[in-house]
Structure formats: C-alpha cells, structure tokens
Amino acid sequence: MKEGKRFWGIRLRGIGAAAALVLVVLTAGLAAQELAEPAGPSAGLREAAISAEEMRAILEEAAGGQRAGGRGAELDLATLKNRYQNAVVKIEFTAIENVVETKFNPTKSETYYAGQEPPHGSGFFISQRDILTNAHVVEEARRGSIRVKSPATGNVEFKVDIVGIAWSESIDLAVLRLPEDEAERFKRRASLTEIPALRFGDSDQVRQADALAIFGYPQSSDELKIIQCKVTGRQYLKTEFDEFICGHQFIEVGPGGVVQPGNSGGPALNADGEVVGIPARGSGWGSEQGWLIPSNIVKHFLEQIMASDEGRREVKIPALGLSLTENFTGTAVWAGVPEEMVIFEVGVVVREVIPNSLADDWGLKSNDIILGFANKQSGMSCALDFKGYRVTTGKMAQWPPKDDAAGSPAATPAGEEAAKLHLHELVLTTRPGDEVTLWYVRPGVAGVQTIMRKMIVKPPVNLPHLGVFEKAPFELWGDFVAQDFDDYNVRLFGVPPQEILKGGALVTFTEPNSLASRRGMNLIWREPWGFAVPGMRGRMATRWVIIESVNGKPVKNLADLRAHLREAERVFDQKQKEPGYDPKRKALLRERYAQIGFRTNRSDGTVLHLTPAFPIDEALETRPKGLK
C-alpha cells in the first residue's frame, strides 16, 4: 500500500477521506498552537491536547472503525503487485482427458488434451522451492509434464515435481517443488538472491466486506491478473446429495472477484500482503461468485500434504462416521431434550451411524440428538443448532450454557459474530489425541448424556488408498473390469460403507452395449468435483455393481474373483479335452459358462441381485495379449 506523509513521527497508511480530513484539522490546530506558544525543546506535541493513542482512536472512528488498509476499504493494488507478483506462478501441464476411465480400466490408453492453449492454473511460493496450488489444478496432469512461469523470469518455463497432494475432494491442495538446479536457474534468470515467498495470515480474521486481492492467470491469460474483490460471507458447498465438498466452509467473494478457471491455486491477499485464502471454486464462466479455501484450513493440513509422497500416503481427516438430519421442536420434545434447549432450538438428530465407525465405537445411535461439542486443546466449546451448526449468538453461544458471562470463553469482538461452523468441520479440524466431548440426548433415556474421548482417525472401512497418479490392481474378464474397493472408486461410484463391509469386487468398467452391460452391469460414476459448483452440473445419480459370487462360490475380494474365474476356465478347458467332446454342442455345455452373481443399486434406492452366466471362451477371446 502507498505510504502517507509523516506527521510528528507517525506514519499513516491507506487512511480514508474522513480520517484525512480530521488529520488536516488536527495538524492545523497543533501548528497554530505551536506558533502561539514560546518555542522550546519540549514544544510541539508535548504541549498538544491529544496523545498519539487518542489521535489513533479519532482516526479510526473517522474512517468508520477501519484498520490500516482497512475493512471494506479499497486496496492499493499497484503496491501489492509490485511487492508480491514475483511470488506467483502460472502452472501449465499436459492434461490427460480420460483420467477416471484409465483408473477404472487401466488397459485403456491415455488421451491428451490437444487444444492450442495448454490447461493451466495458478500457484505461489511458500518457501524457496515449494509452490502451493490446488489439487484439481494438477491431478489430471501427465507425470513429468508440469512446468511453471513467473513474471520474475519473463515467463520462462521451469520444470517442477509434485511433492505432496491431497485429492481434490478431500483437501484440495497440492505442493510442487522446483528441483535444485531449476531453483538456481530461476534465481539467476530473475536476478534474485532468494525466491520470494508469501506468508499466511489468519483467515478467521477475514470478515464480510473485507477487500482482498486475487492474484492469478484466469482463462487463457499469459499475464498475471489482479482482481480486487469483497468478502460476501462464508458458505459450505454441497453436492445434490447433501454431502459437504471438502468438509469445510469456503470464503465467498464477489461481485467483482470473479474466480474463473485459471485462478485456481493462486493467492488471495489481504491489505498486509498475507495469504488468507486460495481460490478453489467458481460458479462458472463469467459468473459473479467465487470460493476460497481459508488459510487456516491450509495451515492445518499442509504438513500432512507435504509428507504424502506424491499422494501415495493418505491425508488423515477425522470424521465421526455418521449422517445428520434437521431437528424439529416436536422431535426434540418427544426425545426429552431439556425445555430451555428446545426453546433455543439446540440439538441435531443423528440420522444414521455407519457400522464400525468412530461414532459407532463411541456408542452413538440413530435418533440420538447431539446438543454440544467441545475440544479441550483448541478451547472450542459450543452448542449445536437444529441443523448441526455452531450456535453463535444468545445464551447458547457458550456451552455448557451459563446465566452470566463469568467463566465463559473469550468473547467475540463487539459487532462480530463467531464463525457458524458445522459439526463436521469442528471434527475435521481436531487433531489426533485432542480431548473432545459430545453432549447428547437419547429418546427413552433420562437426562443429558456425555461422551469424553480422545480423537482418533478411524474410517468405517480400511480402504486401500489410491494415489493420484497410481492405478489399482484389476481383473479384465470379457468386457468388464473389476477391482478391490479403494478410496477413489468407492467415492466416485458412491458405494455405501454397508455394501463395502459385505465384501465383493467392484465392477469399475463395462464396454457400452456389451455382454456385461446387457446382463445388468450398467455403471454410472460421477466425475470428480473440479472447479465448478456441483449444482451447475445437474443431478448426478451413480450406479454401482459389486460381484459377490462365481458359480455359487462367494467372492469377498478381487483375489477371490480371480481364483474362481481361473478355476472355471480350467474346468472348461478340461471338458473340451475329454473323449467324446462335440464342439457343435458347445453352446449347451454347462461348463462353458461362468455364472457371476452381483448386486447393483437401483434408482429407487433398492438393491437388485442378479446371476447371469457368461460364456468363458468369448471372455478369453477379448483378453489382451500378455495380460495375465
């Protein structure tokens, strides 16, 4: 920001017009007083009627209570650009257009985007070699193809490697690194002794109407763009199935802060040049809304992401393993919620507890009403409203509720409301080992119940983690592909934990109009949530198929499927070698077929079980040469 003139040793920055007017009046008055009095070594401010603290208070009041560069004030974009532009990079790569398909059927060849402008995003240095960006910027990149450009180097390209990445649907972040030789070339090209790095600010201090500067490379731009936006609020983004995207609140910006493809991964700076958010989602081309990942979420998970070994190690995210539904007054009364909490609409209903989850271990049950949550280490203790959000106003803003403020946690500054976080995010931001408390009411049980436990990360099902650039083991048989359940295919097919616990092999690919699809193996997976808001894509139902038997023998995993198929193939092969085998009657031979039992979900939510038979010889004919 531009620096103002000095008045008696006080440097003022970015003051508003009203504050400047007050300053002029004060300056003139003090100067007149100085002329009217005898000069001396202690003349001037010593004899002034106001102190520096009083002057600061007057200036803040005249500026509408704004801090320097303040809340709602316009930013000095030119100064921010001059100071921080060399820390921002454009990220380009060779994009794989059929990433999901090649993961679900690894025999498929990768196809690459062939447009004139290479796919790209933005990022920024957080250390001398490390660059932070969104996971969705690079998770479709061909390995070894990622490169960055910077204004500091005249947009010369530099190769970077992926150090760590969390999938875009968990914590949408990735860390890239300049190899040592490229880092040295970068500094020489830019005539720098050190590569500039940005520092993180406290996103909890970002309020409505704050001005932010978004740095990045929107659309097909090869020139760094800076857009001033205003914070319009905070928002959870949800899928059509009421699932939180990434599990945390986003900072919403607009209307001038249009976050478009290409902005993703760049920094959103406050007036002090601190990163308080990372653009990650937009509501579409030419739209007026964008959503930023808060910097405090970034800081919370950054260490894990950097240690994820190119995404091979899973980023551990705490979750209770339950679904919630809105409470209502009558429901609360029937459950026996204390009268005062009913009046203040406290308590969210547990719709379902996933078997073998943390909530299941802790003893929570369907129809329990969770009233409050506390984390001893973070100092968080709050009531939950009928929808599961933290109560931020009134008597229930402190938990357990008190009639007076004595002993209550530090209050939110006057005029500012605490973040209305959902229970899912309160749990997500706990750390393993934190001491947490849940208060709840159970229908038919008198009084408020309490659970006090140490937080651990315990998914309901221990699924293999599929790294962003890894492909899972598979069985290609006939015209379908099957895999073990993993955290990638389960999410995109929307397989419920209860179905995973039953076991089986997940069908991840079938050829269109094939024998498998005509026999009921009709798959629908959804694309990963990338840049756009899910609501823009329309409703996306998924359909999964899980193989549970071969010729009546149970299939609990991919190994079972392979073993039973190989046995069926051997039996058929031996039958063809027996004396008297007549190839003309092959179609009537029982041993020619493998009866594959599977279950699949229907649009009405029910599960259908089918056991069609597949001709073994036709399945073997389609097997690629060299594939075991």
Half-sphere exposure at residue 66, Cβ-oriented, CA atoms within 13 angstroms: 25
Neighbours of 109 (CB within 10 A): 7
Q: Which of 154-168, 535-549, 555-569 has the highest average model confidence (pLDDT)?
A: 555-569
Quote the CA–CA distance of 77 and 80 in Å, as a whole number. Answer: 5
The CATH number of domain 475-621, selected from 2.60.120.10, 3.30.70.980, 3.40.30.10, 2.30.42.10? 2.30.42.10
Comparison of pLDDT for 32 and 421, the residue scoring more: 421
Asked if the model's pLDDT at residue 401 lies above 90, the reply is: no
* pTM, rounded to two decimals: 0.81
Q: Residues with Cβ < 8 Å from 307, sequence gap 6 or more?
A: 164, 313
> Residue 187's Cα: distance from chain center in Å?
33
Q: What is the pLDDT of residues 258-297, one digit of tens each?
A: 688 888 999 999 999 999 999 998 765 555 688 999 999 9
Same fold, 322-409+416-454 and 475-621: yes
The CATH number of domain 73-317, selected from 3.50.50.60, 1.20.58.1000, 3.10.180.10, 2.40.10.120? 2.40.10.120
| In the chain, where the domains are located | 3-70, 73-317, 322-409+416-454, 475-621
Asked if the model's pLDDT at residue 530 lies above 70, the reply is: no
Asked if the model's pLDDT at residue 155 lies above 90, the reply is: no
Quote the CA–CA distance of 347 and 369 in Å, as a whole number. Answer: 5
Quote the CA–CA distance of 287 and 23 in Å, as a whole number. Answer: 41
DSSP state of 547: E
Topology of the domain covering 322-409+416-454: Pdz3 Domain (2.30.42)
Asked if the model's pLDDT at residue 305 lies above 80, the reply is: yes
Q: What is the pLDDT of residues 190-247, one digit of tens each?
A: 999 999 999 999 999 999 999 999 999 987 778 899 989 899 999 898 776 667 888 8
